[in-house]
């Protein structure tokens, strides 16, 4: 939720899900889960779906507080800035010959940057920041 530089990762694509599940980040440490359905996927009736961690007043209050904090503190925009910085930094390292096998810009670029393994060892190089 927000970590890709948009509220939801699908917002980077030219598509929108009919149904989406949300959990861990929604409660900021308080267990909660939710299913979000677009009007075209209006398939749930009250009582169709139950959840151990859904709908209770404490969990819902926590979710509202988390979403308000993410919005008011500009965390989605900050994630976009940090992602851009990461992509630029990894590209600069690759341009200087650093052992980076793959570097992807965009949502969760850090999850898709792969250090190249040295032929002499099976372990990846250590990454440090100047």
User: Shortest CA distance to 78 belongs to which of 2, 8, 24, 1?
Assistant: 2
Report the range of poorest mean pLDDT among 83-92, 97-106, 120-129.
Answer: 120-129
Q: How confident is the model at residue 113 (pLDDT cuts 50, 70, 90)?
A: low
24 pLDDT band, cuts 50/70/90, is: confident
Domain coordinates of the chain in residue numbers? 9-73, 83-115
d(CA 36, CA 68): 18
Quickly count: other Cβ atoms within 10 Å of residue 32's Cβ: 25
What DSSP designation does 87 have?
H
| Nearest to 59, CA basis, from 79, 29, 100 | 29
Q: What is the pLDDT of residue 126?
A: 47
pLDDT at site 46 = 74
């Amino acid at each position: 939720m927000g970590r890709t530089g948009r509220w939801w990762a699908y917002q980077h694509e030219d598509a929108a899900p009919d149904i989406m599940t949300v959990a861990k980040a929604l409660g900021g440490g308080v267990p909660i889960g939710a299913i979000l359905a677009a009007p075209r996927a209006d398939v749930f009736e009250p009582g169709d779906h139950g959840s151990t961690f859904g709908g209770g007043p404490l969990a819902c209050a926590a979710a509202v507080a988390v979403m308000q904090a993410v919005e008011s503190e500009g965390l989605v925009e900050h994630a976009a800035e940090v992602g851009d910085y990461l992509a630029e930094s990894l590209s600069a390292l690759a341009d200087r010959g650093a052992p980076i096998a793959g570097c992807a810009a965009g949502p969760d670029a850090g999850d898709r940057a792969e250090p190249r393994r040295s032929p002499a060892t099976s372990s990846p190089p250590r990454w440090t920041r100047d």
